[in-house]
Amino acid sequence: MSTTARQDAGKNQHMDCEISILCREALAGAKCANFHSSILGTNIFTPKESVATEVIEAETFAIKDMYKKLRGELSKVPWRRMICNNQGSPKWTFIMYLVILRRLYTKDRLDKWEIHNDSICSLCKAELETHQHLFFACNMANVIWQRLLHWLSINRCSAGWNEELEWTTLHANRKTIQDEVYRMTLAVAVYYIWQERNYRIFQQRERTIEEITKQIIQEIH
């Protein structure tokens, strides 16, 4: 081994040692932080004492093990592949993630906050705007999604978001090319429908069903 290689190896070992010491000190400080928290009545986010003790007393230390201990056991959500294994643009998957969590600022949510506005869907102008309605029970959104399903050679009727989410988690949850394209198509469709809704509200712009469908297909290609 050359002198430079030995020096680099020594630096890496020294850095790993420093990181290990810092992490151990941070976990050891959890007991002190919990003590002050109980006295002062403040809420300090600290690791559980049992977790800190277990990591400190281990024969070997690894940041990965510490992270897993602090995180705890978490169950996997059935729709994880729709987000984590989606080959689409990050902005598409982010909007779809918000839809899954029901966190978009749809008009029904604004009504609950007593932000008084027109509660009717801006696309079909017929029903209350909700996540369930907008994706894809709305007449306009439904036509767009049906055309995309036909383009994917999928023959089935679409309903609202709850039904679409259930179908996707059951039938498009694999790592095949067909399922990956389907998940990507769903994400971009959700994004463009939400974008069209915002265009109509904030910019008074309207696109036709044909224009939106064409743009979505071009994005996927």
The β-bridge partners of 175 are none
Same domain membership, residue 208 and residue 136: yes
pLDDT at 32: 45
* Same domain flag for 61 and 109: no
Q: Are residues 30 and 126 in the same domain?
A: no
The reported pLDDT for the residue numbered 195 is: 98
Alpha helices, H only, the chain: 3-40, 49-56, 63-71, 80-84, 90-100, 107-112, 131-132, 139-151, 161-171, 177-198, 209-220
- Those residues with Cβ within 8 angstroms of residue 212's Cβ, 6 or more apart along the chain or in another chain: 144, 192, 193, 196
Query: In the beta sheet, which residues pair with residue 128?
Result: 120
Residue 120, classed as helix, strand or coil, is strand
Claim to verify: residue 199 and residue 141 sit in the same structural domain: yes
Helix (H, G, I), strand (E, B) or coil at 62: coil
Position 3 confidence tier, pLDDT thresholds 50, 70, 90 = low
Please tell me the predicted confidence (pLDDT) of residue 18: 60
pTM of the model: 0.72
Give yes or no: residues 94 and 200 share one domain.
yes
Return the pLDDT at 67. Answer: 81
> Does 89 lie in the same domain as 58?
no
pLDDT band at 40 (very low <50, low <70, confident <90, very high): very low
**pLDDT reading at 110 higher than 70:** yes
Kindly report the average pLDDT of the chain as a whole number. 83
